[in-house]
Structure formats: C-alpha cells, structure tokens
Structure 1
Amino acid sequence: MSFDSLGLTTEILKALQEQNFTTPTPIQKQAIPIVLSGKDLIASAQTGTGKTAGFALPILQKLTELQNNTSKNDDSRKSKRPLHALILAPTRELAAQIGDNIRDYSRYLSIRSLVVFGGVSINPQMMKLRGGVDILIATPGRLLDLVQKNAVDLSTVKVLVLDEADRMLDMGFIHDIRRVIAKLPKKRQNLMFSATFSNEIKGLSQTILHEPETIAVAKENSTSEQIKQYVHHVDKSRKRELLSYLIGKNQWQQVLIFTRTKYGANHLAEQLTKDGIKTSAIHGNKSQGARTKALADFKTGQIKALVATDIAARGLDIELLPYVVNYDLPQVAEDYVHRIGRTGRAQNSGQAVSLVCIDELPQLKAIEKLIKTSIPEMKTDGFTVNPHIKAAPKQKITQRSNKK
C-alpha cells in the first residue's frame, strides 16, 4: 500500500514525497481511512510508529476539501478563519513537534496552524490567533488561559485530538481536559491516541468518544524490535566514569541520557562536559528557550549528549537517534518503554543501555516483568561490580495498574 491509495490530495502527497515518505506505517494504514470517514477513534501505538501523520494527514485532507467547498463564496475568504481542529498534547516538546510535522505536511496547502504552550509570553500567541487558524496544537493549561482571555473560540471545532492521553492523565491534566471539552461543540469527531489501554484510558474514552473504532498496532507495554537493549551492572559511584568510557570508546556521536532528578541531570551534564563530552541538560526547571536551544544543538550535532528527566521521555522526536542510556532506572516501569522508544523509530535501529547499580535491581525486575523478557547483560573490563557493596533500604517500585 502507498499513500496514493489513501485518498490524499496531490499537494499532501507532494509534501510527503519530498520527505521520502512513500509507504504508510501500520498505524497510518488503519487510522487514515477511519479519520477520513468521520468516525471517532481510539488508538494504541508505540512511540515512533508514525501516529502523528495518522491523524494529521486526514485532518489536512478534510480541511482542504472543506476549503474547496466554501471557496466559491468570496465572503468566506474575508472573514476570520474558524478553528477546525484542536490537538491537545501533554508537553511543550510534543506540541512543538506536532506543529513542525503539520507545517511540513501542509507545505503546499492554504492551511494555517499554530502551536501554543506555557513558559513563554502569551501575547504573541494571542496576536497570531486574531487572524484565525485552522489547526491549533496546544497544551491544556495554556489553551485554558487563552480561552479565559477570549483569545480563542472553541465553538467551531470539528475535530478534537488527544495525543498521548495516558501521559496527560499521569501529569494530572484530566480536569483541564474536561474543562476544554465542556467548551467544545457536542457534535464533533474525537481521536484519542495512547501508548497503553489502561482502565483509566478506557474510562476516559467512554466519556469522550462516541462508538469509536479501535486500533492497536503493538502489544501493550512492548518495546520495538528495532531496539537492542542491554543492562550494564555497575557500582553507583562509577556510573559516570563508565558512561564517559562507553561514549568515548564506542565513539557515540549522539546519545540521549535519562536521569531521575533535575539536579542529577544538571550534575551529570557538568561532569560529562568536564570529561570532554559536549553535553546539555533538559528538564522542567529549564526555560523554554534553554530547552529549545539544547534540543536544537543536539539535533545538529553541536552537543554530543543530552541529559533529560522524564519530561522528555515522550514528545522528543530526534531523527535517527542511535543511543539511549538509562543512567538511573525509572521508578515507574512503564516509563522505561517510553524512554527507550526515543530510539529505534520507524524502520531505524537503535540501542538502549541501562546502567544498573545494586539499589536498582528491584526496578530492573519490574521492568523485565512488564516487557516479559530478560534484558541481556553488557560487560566492560575494569568495571566489575564490587560484591561487598550492600543495597540501600528498599524503595517502593510501581507499575501503573490496570485495575480500577
């Protein structure tokens, strides 16, 4: 199957061809016809499967058809554009990435899209909204701020997209989401995308979606087959030394590293920089400008390593990212899947290495239970674990429950 067979306009196909997108991914094959049909949809897809195009392309197609049908009326061109599609995303990074993708796909269309999120001045966003936009990509909090200031009218929305809905629930956005939905027309199309089908997600879908079609393109909580996973047991005090050694010895040119805390991210970035590895940190305490610059420098190769907290576990789209390192294992086992999903995207291969000290063995056990496989070990001469070191007092290890 090719994109040509999915009923997309020649302008969209031209934009896809320029990005070397010729064959739709499984989620795109299934989602695009459903969205074009006007039905509601709930889809479970691993990160990196191309789900953004799965909803963005048919929305652009429907918008183009709508414009063509109304273009005969000259008065419609002079009036302010009504908002057609609203896309909600949990993080600034994901919202920005969706916006970039939509701009790429709509390069040859007369479509206006805008991304809005907090952490930056609201006034420029209000100015851009005055002329009207067709598609608005927003984080829930900033969208409600704009609604309160009467800067955006949600009464004309025909399509609502909730992207990474499970992440939005985890981040406590459920009340904001319900406040947004209360301001939307009752008659609309609803599309929900989530990495997992937990009972919480199913419960939310029942209150928002109407007789939805369901798609699941990957086994729940599974990891991509394109990602080679390894565990490297190491003493906690030697993690940074081992990481520097692995980056240098293996000549890793681009590695995304996850730590558990913001302080840990800053400290590790400073230490790696002292080791001669150009590194930046990205987390919630960084300004939006600093986060955007760090990500841009990482993508262009100006820095070799990017240290991130779990705020970046989803929403970062780094083309051909070869390496992910779990410097600290996550406390919630599901976050492991989302972290390593930054690599091995689409048809590309990747490698994920977890540096595990004795204190983190319970987390490792929970992760392997979740993904239903044992992660093979990697060993490095000179970094044998000291058998005399005892584990610290046990911490509670969690998995997100599927029980109500």
Structure 2
Amino acid sequence: MTLPVALTGHDVIGQAKTGTGKTLGFGLPLIERVVVHADVDAGRATEEQLSDSPQALIVVPTRELCTQVTNDLQTAGKVRNVRVLAVYGGRAYEPQVEALKKGVDIVVGTPGRLLDLAGQRKLDLSKVRALVLDEADEMLDLGFLPDVEKIITMLPAKRQTLLFSATMPGQVINLARRYMSQPTHIRAAAPDDTGTTVANIEQHVFRAHSLDKVEMVSRILQAEGRGLCMIFCRTKRTAADVSEQLTRRGFAAGAVHGDLGQGAREQALRAFRNGKVDVLVCTDVAARGIDVEGVTHVINYQCPEDEKTYLHRIGRTGRAGASGTAVTLVDWDDIPRWQLINKALDLPFNEPEETYSTSAHLYELLKITPGTSGVLPRSERTRAGLNAEEVEDLGETGGRGSRSGRSRGGRTAAAAEEAPAERPARTPRQRRRTRGGVSAEVAPNAAGAAAPAETEAAAPTDAPAAVLSDTAAGEGTAEAPRRRRRRTRSAASGEAGTEAAAAVEAVEAGAATDEAGEAEAGQAPRRARTRTRTRRSAVTPEAAPES
C-alpha cells in the first residue's frame, strides 16, 4: 500500500502493527529514488545529478534500531550499490567522518550525532530530497522534538517526508502535518484483525510479588517450546540485577541498557541474534523496531509506562506471521497503571490473577512441566553464553579509560607503560653537611683535628665517653650517618641524669682552666662558648639538673 504512493514523491504517514515490514515500506522507495552510477550508465540520469552528499536522511530514536535499519537497507541496496551509513553516538567520530568524505547516498542516524556532525560542517544536509522519521511518535515526543526541528531547518524546503510507526496518536499526526505537504495517511491491517494488538500473540497478565518475580521468570524460561526470550524492565539497575541473577541460575543471559558502553550493548544484541545467548534482559531502548528471528516469549518484568510501550514491547514476538507468547507481571503498586493500559487497549485483564512461582495455573497456562525448579539443570545448559561473543572496539566517546583504551593523560596504556623505560634513571640529590662553614666530609678518625677551636674547648679530652661519641657522630662523614637507638623511658631517664651531670661538670672544669690561663697571661677572662651535642631522645624533663 505504501510503495506506489512513496515512489511518486508524495508525503506519507504510514501506520501498521509491529512486525509487518515498515522498514522496507520506506526503505525500498528511498533506494529506488536516489541517483547512483547505475542510473547514469542506464541513461536514466546525468552526471550532474550525482552527488557525494546524502540524498536521503532517516532519523531513528535508538542506536540499536539505527544499526538494524542500516543493515536492512545495505542488504536491499546491494544490486544498485547504494551507499548507506549509520551515524550514532557511542562510536568514534573519525570513521564516520571518513565515510562522509568518500560519499554517501543514504544516512541513518540518531538526532544527537547528526546535529554534532552537521554543526561541525562534516555532514551536508543541503542535498537531502527525502526525510524519514522512523518511530515517528517517539521522534515527535517532547524529548526529541527540539532536535528534530533543528534537523528539519537544515533540510531543503522542497523535499519528501515520510513518517512511520506502529502507534500514531492523533496529536502526533496534527503535529506532523506542520512539516508535511498534503500527506497521505495509510493505515494497514488485515481484514479480520480488528484488535489493537497482534492476533498471533498469546497474552498473559499475572499479579506477582516483587520478591518472587525472579523465581517465576526462571520457571517460565523452562516452558515447552521456548526459544529466544526478551525480558523488559523499567529501570537500568533492575535490568542489570535480573540478568545477573538469571546467569547465576544457569541461563545464558545478556543485558542491554543505557549504563552499558556501546560495545557491550552491541555485544549482547549480537550474541542474542547468533543464539549464544537466549535470554536478553533490557530496558525500553530495545522495545522499538528490534527484529530478531526466533523470539517466542516476551516477559514484562515490570509494568510498562503506557499502552504504546506495551504494544512495542510485546511486538518483539509474533513478527512476520509467527506466533508468540507475552507475559506481564504486575506488582500490587502498579495495578492502577495496568488498568489504564488495559482500558486503552480494550484487553480482558482488568483484574490480574494473583500468582506465585508455585501456583498451579502458572504451570498449566504456560505449559511448564510440574516440579520444575528455579535453577536450569546442567544437562540443558547448552548455550555458549555472553563471553563467547567478542566485544568490538568502537573507539567509544565519553567512556571510561579502560573501555576506550586511553589513559587519563590521553596516551594509550601501552605507551604509558613504555614511557618510564625511555627515560634515564634519576639519581637522588647528594646533600652536604657543614659545621660552622667547614665541610663535615672528613674521615671519622680526623674529627678532632677538623673541629673548630671553640668545640675543642667545649669538649676536652677528659670529657665523658657519651659526650665525645655524640660529638663525633654529629661531625662524622655523610657516608656514616648517626644512628639513633631506641630506649625505654625509665632506662633513658636514669642514664640521662648521669650523662647530663657529667657534661655540665666537664664544661665548668674546662671554663675554669681557660680563665686561669688567661689571668696568668694578664688578659681579661672571656666567656667560654660551648657547643655540646647530646642525644635528644636521652634528655627528658625529669632528668634535667636543678639550678
């Protein structure tokens, strides 16, 4: 229904249920309408119409959806050699800038990185002839609306605008008409499919206690015919906690939420697609547009915020005509919120049945073998697990140093380790000790000859051994530093009293001898200058002599 209208260049508002192929609904007209070298060779276009600037722009709300749409368009555009580039945050700028310089036909991106590159004049949007807003109700929400409006102002006024989503409230359609010119609103549905949800999805809603939810999920994951499973949580912390608990119980589980680096998010989603992980615990970043083949069960671990989120969550299963099972666990506090969702979607679950991990009706409705425990038997642990999938180095921006391979100073860790080996070893500074301007670097046995005269007068030869040893130690060479000995307070105080008294007597005796010699020579007696070095640790207030 969309292809003939979009191929003529008219504006389109496309609305259809999840899993009905909306990506190719807008992707195929874009691939057909861009001008490539094959058109010039076939005579359908001229050389002047070729351009290295983007001819079509697709704006998506999440990084995961950006990579998925890019892969789908690259697969569909292989025959015409259409160049498609994904532009989103969490990756290094340089590869994206290099690809833009080489030339791109279609750009798929998230609003933040698109504005960054356009503001740096790396992305030229002046040649864009078609704009697509995928998940349009999310893109025109209050959170994204300012960025989307900035992007639209950079585009030519004459262009084709396409809006696609599974949910399209009336106010969003009214808002979208401001940016569109006489749009055609196409709403696709099967003739017998009158409900708002996909008919192939079997829905169950249980009232569950928060402390028992992990036990219930562990048993649901062991139901008959269970393939890949997605578990949705409302908060990032809950998603990380549930993934960790399921891993400890033996399940091959991975997590996708905003606190993870982009490399870890893509690792978990890639392992889920490859079958190495069969349980993906995620927040609502993976609720829109993600298409993984083989998803049989979707579990709402926490009640969704509104009916749109509920539709997009359970729409990860039952895609392209397949059947699936959706289980919603509603806590007591979330009953009013769930009743609003139930009324908006006209579902028959206004009063969910109270259910625990041991309830018989849980085993019966979900085809769980009676007696199943909350731990996966070792014989059934056949998946390789998340660690079997390598983490791709994306050159993440704004992440921790360990993720991006950079140290705090901007160098890599390897360069930081090699740096000390390149520098010569630094020698410690040598310090010289002097006494009265005379260098103390003399031999220990010559300390008496090198000492000044006043020190000789202060320390005569008949002085006690303790004073002489301290003086020699203080005026020794730098190679033989003074050694400090530890003594107890009682022993030190007793010895200090004896040493201090002997030192005072020696000083007084030396001064008396000098005065007598000067008097005999007819000179006035001068005051002797004394310099006595005693051990600081040996002098205590209790041992000081009385005056």
Structure 1 position 248 matched with structure 2 position 219: no
3-state secondary structure, aligned to 1:297: helix
Give the aligned partner of residue 309 of structure 1.
283
User: What is the aligned partner in structure 2 of residue 327 from structure 1?
Assistant: 301
Select which of 383, 386, 402 maps to 2:359: 383
Q: Does 1:111 align with 2:97?
A: no
CA distance in 2, matches of 1:341, 1:367: 15
The CA distance in 2 between the partners of 1:131 and 1:44, in whole Å, is 35
Which letter maps to 1:133? V
Match of 2:68 in 1: 97
| Sequence identity (%) | 40
CA distance in 1, matches of 2:56, 2:41: 17
**Separation in 2, partners of 1:196, 1:271:** 34
Q: What's 1:170 paired with?
A: 141
Q: CA deviation at 1:75?
A: 9.0
Match of 2:413 in 1: none
What's the CA shift for 1:70?
A: 7.3
Q: 1:218-243 deviations in whole A, cap 9, x for unaligned?
A: 48981111111011332221110111
Out of 318, 338, 341, the position equivalent to 2:312 is: 338
Distance of 1:277 and 1:71 partners within structure 2? 55
Query: Residue 196 of structure 2: which of 198, 222, 230 is its match?
Result: 222
1:203 to 166, 174, 194: 174
Structure 2 equivalent of residue 232 of structure 1: 206
Quote the residue 1:299 is aligned against. 273
Deviates more, 1:299-308 or 1:56-65: 56-65
1:37 aligns with 2:8: yes
Taking a change above 3 Å as real, the CA distance of residues 324 and 73 of structure 1, as seen in their structure-2 partners, is: closer
What amino acid sits opposite 1:106 in the alignment? G
Tell me which moved more, 32-41 or 244-253. 244-253
Structure-1 residue corresponding to 2:258: 284
| Aligned 8 A contact 2:227 2:295 in 1 | no
Contact map agreement 2:232 2:284 (CA 8 A) in 1: yes
Which of 25, 46, 50 aligns to 2:21? It is 50
> Tell me, what secondary structure is at the counterpart of 1:127?
helix
Is residue 253–residue 301 contact of structure 1 (8 Å, CA) maintained in 2? no
Give the structure-2-normalised TM-score: 0.61
3-state SS of the aligned residue for 2:75?
Answer: helix
User: Is the CA contact 1:221–1:337 (under 8 Å) kept in the aligned structure 2?
Assistant: no
**For residues 220 and 197 of structure 1, what CA distance do their matches in structure 2 show?**
16
The number of aligned residues is 356
Counterpart secondary structure, 1:248: coil
Find the residue that maps to 1:160 and give its secondary structure: strand
Q: Displacement, 1:251?
A: 6.0
C-alpha distance in structure 2 between counterparts of 1:381 and 1:111, whole Å: 52
CA contact (8 A) 2:126 2:155 kept: yes
Distance 1:71 1:261 in 2: 54
Partner of 2:337: 363
- RMSD, aligned CA: 2.6
The residue type paired with residue 383 of structure 1 is: S
Counterpart contact for 1:282–1:291, Cα < 8 Å: yes
What residue in structure 2 maps to residue 20 of structure 1? none
Equivalent residue for 2:237, pick from 263, 267, 270:
263
1:126 maps to a residue whose letter is: V
The alpha-carbon deviation at position 122 of structure 1 amounts to 1.2
Change (3 A) 1:243 1:226: same
CA shift for structure 1 position 37: 1.0
- Please state if 1:152 is matched with 2:126: no
Task: Pick closer, same or farther for the CA change 1:272–1:66 going to 2, 3 Å.
Answer: same
**Larger RCO, structures 1/2 (Cα 8 Å, 6+ apart):** 1
Distance in 1 separating the partners of 2:323 and 2:210: 29
Are residues 129 and 242 of structure 1, via their aligned partners in 2, closer, same or farther at CA, if it must alter by over 3 Å? same
1 CA distance for matches of 2:54 and 2:123? 8
Q: CA deviation at 1:362?
A: 1.6
What one-letter code is carried by the residue in structure 1 that aligns with 2:358? G
Matched residue SS, 2:222: helix
Q: What are the Cα deviations for residues 41-80 of structure 1, in whole angstroms up to 9, with x where unaligned?
A: 1112222110110011111122268851576699939975
> SS state of the match for residue 65, structure 2?
helix
Secondary structure at the aligned position of 1:323 is classed as: strand
Looking at structure 2, the residues matched to 109 and 197 of structure 1 have their Cα atoms a distance apart, in angstroms, of 33
CA deviation after TM superposition for structure 1 residue 110, in Å: 1.9
Distance 1:59 1:249 in 2: 43
Q: Is the 8 A contact 2:125 2:155 kept in 1?
A: yes
Question: 1:378 and 1:321, CA in 2 relative to 1: closer, same or farther beyond 3 A?
Answer: farther
**What residue in structure 1 maps to residue 523 of structure 2?**
none
Please report how far the alpha carbon of residue 315 of structure 1 lies from its aligned counterpart in structure 2 after TM superposition: 2.9
> 1:171 Cα deviation (Å)?
6.4
Matched, 1:354 2:325: no
For residues 185 and 261 of structure 1, what CA distance do their matches in structure 2 show?
Answer: 40
1:220/1:137 CA distance change after superposition, 3 Å: farther
- Supply the distance in 2 between the matched residues of 1:154 and 1:381 (Cα, whole angstroms): 55
Report the equivalent of 1:10: none
Distance 1:214 1:377 in 2: 40
2-structure distance, mates of 1:58, 1:147: 25
- 1:387-398 matched pairs, under 5 angstroms: none
Deviations 1:183-224 (A, max 9, x none): 111111111113333243123212111001111124898111
Letter of the aligned partner of 1:205 in structure 2? A
Letter in 2 for 1:382: T
Answer yes or no: is the 8 Å Cα contact 2:140–2:148 preserved in 1.
Answer: no
Partner of 2:365: none
The whole-number CA distance in structure 2 between the counterparts of 1:120 and 1:168 is 21
**1:399 aligned partner:** none
Q: Report the CA distance shift for 1:298/1:73 in structure 2 as closer, same or farther (over 3 A).
A: closer
TM-score, with structure 1 as normaliser: 0.82
Kept in 2: contact 1:262–1:285 (CA 8 A): yes
Q: Which letter maps to 1:188?
A: R
